[in-house]
């Protein structure tokens, strides 16, 4: 096993036992600043061995692009003192040597790749923002038989998620309310536990509003119980809509530390003639003839049969009406608490997208794809006045997720994700919501909210010219020796690392690049530059994955991150890496350089 870090760092060689018979020695490469770092230090110091606060300020302005007016000498000095207190506590004079300067560059809290402060305009209406949204937020695992709990809700809120989804069902005695995934074998949790945890943890990460979307399967008397529970637990924290709010949503700034309920107004929950003809209702689900006739075209027969046998709650955008009763009235005290009204596509999706404003519409990922292919500009126009929520298809029983880019390209504010899972799509979600200080609200690009003189809007299918070019230089990696065991990647030699970069965004901007493989080195130095042309940089994400090359098996995972291109800070930056679930490693990082043309 790996020896203690301090002891091992003093050795000159790695020792690996080959087949249990003999030792293989590999020289430990010393972590050194790359040539660009040495050149920057020398340029700013005029070739001397010490960097003063004035010289460090010059580096921040000329190399890091932090602006002449944005950084004073006092600001530079404060940063230097923070660094020196950590790396050389006995310092007498506030100045950097080359080693101090290099150590500063590797501190991601002081020299990270994106702005960690809220800096977007937070005074626009809610529909102007992408909102960090969870799906089935109470599930601890898969969609079929995992436990329901408040624990994943707490974790989501701590990560910055701003939309929590709860499915409400009566208990067996019909006198209590449970939260569970309907028509599955998931074990329930009581609603009061979920509400109390939301109240306690709602604003630990962000002060901006938390929206609770309720999928309500309750009788009127239980809805009255929900209303009482909401008022007792949340009290003045609850946002209660005022006259006129239905036409224009409030802003995140005006709703700081407020809780908002969103569900379908119960008074509309009755069978009526305007719910289309009986031929459009199948298995208790209303369908849109144009969009749902082949809704499961791309799902395998096995998964489709499985979902039908288990009667998975598809959370379809077309309401389940099997338990609704004509004339059944819902309590007004419940209706009055609904801050964002959810609508349903009673007369077809196209009509729902072109009528009314100040509402929320939910679509499955498949329906979003089909709507985007048929009339994407109508989706964009709808999201300028309303909120669109997109949720995973019901057959994602293992809590996987879909690629969110198409939804964002069409202005969808709430892209609902299974936060308890992991995978490349979830990495993209984490990346998008690192924007704006990780507060959970990201201002949509202006072009998604703009309307031309002839009522034209952004067309996601339009071919656009390259607007900006991003240059990325990957210098080196560090930290694996401290976060992984000696033989984690290879039992017989040090690891062989390489870095892959994926540009994710509109189809024209998609690209993939890869560094060379550095053999047998815990401190790989690549020093390679790559260029990405971007037509819509506002929606682009740079996904970075480090892997360890393996000749005979699948390459090992060495860390990942996803960064919003619009938020990248130029200059030489340290990029911390995360594990597959999105948790940050303690020490693993890359040293990179970003620049725009």
Enzyme catalytic residues? 135, 181
Handedness of CA 89, 91, 94, 96 (dihedral sign): negative
Q: How does 276-298 read in b/e, with b if 16+ C-beta sit within 10 Å?
A: beeebbeeebbbbeebbeebbee
Calculate the alpha carbon distances from 79 to 40, 59, 60, 224, 355 in Å: 18, 13, 11, 55, 54
Q: List, in order, residues 6 or more apart from 375 with CB less than 8 Å away.
A: 350, 353
Q: Six-digit token pair at 293?
A: 């006739």
Nearest to 461 by CA among 535, 361, 386, 382: 535
Query: What Rg value do the Cα atoms of the chain yield, rounded?
Result: 27
Chain centroid offset of residue 556 CA: 24
Task: Compute the distance between CA of residue 238 and CA of residue 227 in angstroms, rounded to an integer.
Answer: 11
Task: Compute the distance between CA of residue 335 and CA of residue 349 in angstroms, rounded to an integer.
Answer: 25
Task: Work out the number of other CB atoms within 10 angstroms of the CB of residue 13.
Answer: 11
Task: Compute the distance between CA of residue 390 and CA of residue 406 in angstroms, rounded to an integer.
Answer: 10
Task: Compute the distance between CA of residue 359 and CA of residue 352 in angstroms, rounded to an integer.
Answer: 10
- Phi (first) and psi of residue 248, to 5 degrees: -140, 120
Contact by Cβ (8 Å): 174, 215: no
The DSSP bridge partners found for residue 576 are: 589
Chain centroid offset of residue 216 CA: 26
Q: Six-digit token pair at 536?
A: 């819509």
Residue 120 C-beta-side C-alpha neighbours within 13 Å: 28
> What DSSP character marks residue 249?
P
Nearest to 385 by CA among 361, 405, 364, 349: 361
Contact by Cβ (8 Å): 352, 367: no
Please give the full DSSP string across 380-447, using - where no structure is assigned: HHHHTTSEEEEE--TT-TT------HHHHHTT-SEEEE-TTS-SHHHHHHHHHTTGGGG-SEEEPPHH
The DSSP bridge partners found for residue 210 are: 259
């Amino acid at each position: 096993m790996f020896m203690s870090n301090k002891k091992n760092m003093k050795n000159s060689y790695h020792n690996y036992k080959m087949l249990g018979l003999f030792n293989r020695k590999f020289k430990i490469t010393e972590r050194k600043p790359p040539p660009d770092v040495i050149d920057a230090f020398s340029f700013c110091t005029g070739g001397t061995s010490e960097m003063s606060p004035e010289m460090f300020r010059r580096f921040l302005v000329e190399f890091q692009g932090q602006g002449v007016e944005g950084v004073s000498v006092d600001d530079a000095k404060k940063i230097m003192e923070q660094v020196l207190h950590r790396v050389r506590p006995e310092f007498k004079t506030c100045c950097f040597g080359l080693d101090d300067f290099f150590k500063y560059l590797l501190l991601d809290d002081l020299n990270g790749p994106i702005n960690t402060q809220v800096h977007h305009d937070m005074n626009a209406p809610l529909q102007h923002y992408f909102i960090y949204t969870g799906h089935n937020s109470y599930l601890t695992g898969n969609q079929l038989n995992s436990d329901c709990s408040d624990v994943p809700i707490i974790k989501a809120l701590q990560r910055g998620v701003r939309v929590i989804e709860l499915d409400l069902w009566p208990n067996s005695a019909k006198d209590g309310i449970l939260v569970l995934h309907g028509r599955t074998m998931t074990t329930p949790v009581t609603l009061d536990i979920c509400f109390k945890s939301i109240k306690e943890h709602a604003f630990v990460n962000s002060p901006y509003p938390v929206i609770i979307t309720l999928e309500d399967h309750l009788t009127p008397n239980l809805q009255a119980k929900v209303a009482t529970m909401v008022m007792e637990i949340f009290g003045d924290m609850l946002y209660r809509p005022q006259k006129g709010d239905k036409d224009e949503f409030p802003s995140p700034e005006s709703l700081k530390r407020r809780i908002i309920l969103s569900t379908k107004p119960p008074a509309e929950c009755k069978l009526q003639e305007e719910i289309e003809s009986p031929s459009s209702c199948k298995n208790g689900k209303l369908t849109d003839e144009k969009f749902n006739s082949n809704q499961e075209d791309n799902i395998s027969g096995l998964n489709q049969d499985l979902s039908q046998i288990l009667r998975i709650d598809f959370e379809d955008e077309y309401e389940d009406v099997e338990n609704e009763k004509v004339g059944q009235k819902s309590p007004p005290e419940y209706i009055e608490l609904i801050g964002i009204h959810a609508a349903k596509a009673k007369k077809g999706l196209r009509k729902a997208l072109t009528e009314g404003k100040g509402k929320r519409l939910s679509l499955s990922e498949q329906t979003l794809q089909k709507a985007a292919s048929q009339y994407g500009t109508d989706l964009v126009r709808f999201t300028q006045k309303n909120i669109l929520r997109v949720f995973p298809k019901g057959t994602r029983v293992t809590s996987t997720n879909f690629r969110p880019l198409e939804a964002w390209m069409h202005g969808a504010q709430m892209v609902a994700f299974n936060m308890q899972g992991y995978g490349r799509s979830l990495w993209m979600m984490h990346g998008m919501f690192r924007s704006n200080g990780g507060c959970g609200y990201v201002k949509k690009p202006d072009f998604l909210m703009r309307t031309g003189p002839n009522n034209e809007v952004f067309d996601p299918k339009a071919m656009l010219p390259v607007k900006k070019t991003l240059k990325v230089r990957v210098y080196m990696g560090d930290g694996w020796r401290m976060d992984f065991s000696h033989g984690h990647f290879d039992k017989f030699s040090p690891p062989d690392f390489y870095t892959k970069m994926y540009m994710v965004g509109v189809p024209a901007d998609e690209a993939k690049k890869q560094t060379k493989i550095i053999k047998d080195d815990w401190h790989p130095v690549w020093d390679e530059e790559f260029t990405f042309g971007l037509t819509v940089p506002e929606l682009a994400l740079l996904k970075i994955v480090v892997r360890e090359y393996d000749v005979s098996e699948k390459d090992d995972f060495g860390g990942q991150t996803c960064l919003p291109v619009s938020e990248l800070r130029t200059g030489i930056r340290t990029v911390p890496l995360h594990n597959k679930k999105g948790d940050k490693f303690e020490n693993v990082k890359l040293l990179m350089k970003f620049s725009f043309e």
